[in-house]
Amino acid sequence: EDKVVQSPLSLVVHEGDTVTLNCSYEVTNFRSLLWYKQEKKAPTFLFMLTSSGIEKKSGRLSSILDKKELSSILNITATQTGDSAIYLCAVANQAGTALIFGKGTTLSVSS
């Protein structure tokens, strides 16, 4: 069964801290791994990773995939209160008909 596990489930940090969020997966016929940020409403797309070892970067956020370890990390440097959200990791299922999501990591950044 396709599965995505995220850790930690929740995290509280101070503004300016750096955080690392983890995602591990089990899926037959891996296609891609995606990270989303969810504030109050719709999840918004952050990154899509398909190749091991290639870092994707957007401002203070970066992510990398390790296909050997079946995992990915999402790093956020110099956190701000606006980074407070649920971060979701997802992989495409074997048939390519859906994204399978983890439970998410709830990040709270205090000022």
Partner 1 sequence: GAGVSQSPRYKVAKRGQDVALRCDPISGHVSLFWYQQALGQGPEFLTYFQNEAQLDKSGLPSDRFFAERPEGSVSTLKIQRTQQEDSAVYLCASSSSSAGTFFSPLHFGNGTRLTVT
The residues binding partner 1 (CB under 8 A) are: 4, 6, 31-32, 34, 41-45, 48, 50, 88, 90, 92-93, 95-104
Query: Helix %, strand %, coil % for the chain, to 5?
Result: 5, 55, 40
42: its two tokens: 């719709």
Alpha-carbon gap, residue 48 to 62, rounded angstroms: 11
- Cβ proximity to partner 1, 43 vs 85, nearer residue: 43
CB of 95 to partner 1, least distance (A): 7
- Cβ proximity to partner 1, 18 vs 51, nearer residue: 51
- Cβ proximity to partner 1, 77 vs 103, nearer residue: 103
6: its two tokens: 């995220």
